[in-house]
Amino acid sequence: MLRRFAVLPLCISGLFLFAARTDAAKLTARRSGKNVVVQIDGQLFAEYLTDNGPKPIVWPIIGPTGKPMTRSYPMVPEGDPSERKDHIHHRSLFFTHDDVNGVHFWHEHKEKHGWIKHREYLKVEEKANKVVIATRNDWLEPGEDEKGGKKVCEDERTLIFFVDGDTRVIDFDITLKATDGPVKFGDTKEGTMSIRVAGTMKETAKMGGQIVNSNGQTSKDAWGKQAAWVDYHGPVDGQTVGIAILNHPSSFRFPTYWHVRTYGLFTANPFGLRNFKGPKFDGSYTIAQRESITLRYRFLFHKGDEKVGKVAEAFEAYAKEENR
C-alpha cells in the first residue's frame, strides 16, 4: 500500500498548485515556454526559469512538507510578510559571481551589470525516475539592453532532480569555459553557488532557524569557513525543514568556503579568500583560453534539522559517486 501525505495548496502568480508525494514518487519534466517544470507524481517540485532577470534560476522549490522552501521575492514583488524585500539579486537558487574579468554578474542594482543568457537546452529528459536538465549559457558584458554585450565566457550546467526517501534532491554540476580568451574569477565574497532560504527559516527571524556546517560550526561562526557541507534549517508553516548544500570532493577547490548569512543567504564560494581569511590572501583564479573548471554541488531539501535529515550520511554517499 502506498503511504500518502496531505495535499497542500500553494498560490503562485494567481495559480493554485499542489504538492504531495508517495513512496512510488515519479518525476516528470514538462516544457513551459522557455522554462522547464519538474513534477513529482504530477505535482510541482521545481521550475527551471531562463527568463526571470539577468540569470537562469530555479524557482519555486517545493519541499517534502509541500511548502516552498526558498524566498519568493522578487519573483513575486509583494513577497511574503516574513520576507525581507532586500537584495533583489537573491533569486531563489542560482549560480553567478560578481567579478568575472571585472564584470559584475552578481549585483543587479549596479548601473552596468553582466547577463548570463540561456543559449540552448542540451538535454531535458526523464531517466531512471530522475529529471535531467542540461543547458549552455553565455556570460555577457553589459549592453544597452537585456541582450547584453560582448561574450566573456560560457558555462554548461547539468541539473538532476530526484527523490531519496523523504528528501528532495537537486544536483547542480557546472563547467565554466574560457571560450573567448582567458577568464579571471576575482576574489570577492559575492558568489557563487547560491540559494536564499524561506523567510521563516533564517536565523534573524528568531523562530528557531540555525546554520550548521560539517565541522560543527554554527551561526556566524560558519561564515567564511571551509566545510564539506552546510545545512540551514528552520520552520516553514510550523514544521522544521532544512536545506543542505553538499560540495563534491571532485569539485574545484574542495572543500569550498561558505558565504552563509543569518539573514537567509546561503552560498558556496571558492574564490572569496580575501574576505574570508584576510587581506594577504588572493582567491582569484584565471581560466586559460580553451580551458575550464568544474564545480559540483548537491542540494538536499529535507525534514527536520541536519541530524533528522541525515545530512552527514548523505554527504558520505555523495562523495563516493563518480564524476558524471
- Considering the domain boundaries, does residue 57 fall inside one? no
Q: Quick one: which H or E segment has residue 49?
A: strand 43-49
- Per-residue model confidence (pLDDT) at position 216: 98
Average pLDDT, the chain: 90
Q: What is the pLDDT of residues 170-215, one digit of tens each?
A: 999 999 999 999 999 999 999 999 999 999 999 999 999 999 999 9
Q: What is the pLDDT of residues 85-111, one digit of tens each?
A: 767 777 899 999 999 999 999 888 656
pLDDT > 90? residue 59: yes
SS (H, E, C) 251-314: CCCCCCEEEECCCCEEEEECCCHHHHHCCCCCCCEEECCCCEEEEEEEEEEEECCCCCCCHHHH
Written as one letter, the residue type at 303 is K
For residue 291, how many other CB atoms are within 10 A of its CB? 13
- Per-residue model confidence (pLDDT) at position 269: 98
- Considering the domain boundaries, does residue 182 fall inside one? yes
Q: Which of 66, 40, 44 is nearest to 239 (CA)?
A: 66
Q: Sign of the CA dihedral 274, 218, 79, 96?
A: positive
All cell numbers assigned to 98: 560578481
Q: What is the pLDDT of residues 222-271, one digit of tens each?
A: 999 999 999 999 999 999 999 999 999 999 999 999 999 999 999 999 99
For residues 99 and 4, the model is more confident at: 99
Order of strands across the sheet with 292-303? 115-127, 130-140, 151-164, 167-177, 292-303, 239-247, 229-236, 210-213
- Considering the domain boundaries, does residue 169 fall inside one? yes
All cell numbers assigned to 137: 549559457
All cell numbers assigned to 37: 517544470
Which neighbouring-strand residues pair with 136? 120, 156
- Considering the domain boundaries, does residue 14 fall inside one? no
- Considering the domain boundaries, does residue 38 fall inside one? no
Q: Across residues 120-132, what is the average pLDDT?
A: 96
- Considering the domain boundaries, does residue 313 fall inside one? yes
- Among 63-77, 102-116, 125-139, name the one with the lowest average pLDDT: 102-116
* Residue whose entry in the numeric block shows the C-alpha cell 541525515: 310
- Among 80-84, 211-215, 232-236, 299-303, name the one with the lowest average pLDDT: 80-84
Give the C-alpha separation, 145 to 133, whole Å. 28
Total count of residues recorded for the chain: 324
- Per-residue model confidence (pLDDT) at position 156: 98
Q: Sign of the CA dihedral 271, 48, 130, 42?
A: positive
Query: How would DSSP label each residue in 15-38?
Result: EEEEE--BTT--EEEEEETTEEEE
- Considering the domain boundaries, does residue 211 fall inside one? yes
% of residues, the chain, pLDDT over 90:
79
Give the C-alpha separation, 298 to 52, whole Å. 23
For residues 221 and 79, the model is more confident at: 221
Question: Residue 283 is part of which domain span?
Answer: 86-319
SS3 state of residue 28: strand
Specify the number of domains making up the chain: 1
% of residues, the chain, pLDDT over 70:
89
- Per-residue model confidence (pLDDT) at position 110: 57
- Per-residue model confidence (pLDDT) at position 324: 55
For residues 61 and 79, the model is more confident at: 61
- Considering the domain boundaries, does residue 104 fall inside one? yes
Q: Across residues 271-288, what is the average pLDDT?
A: 97
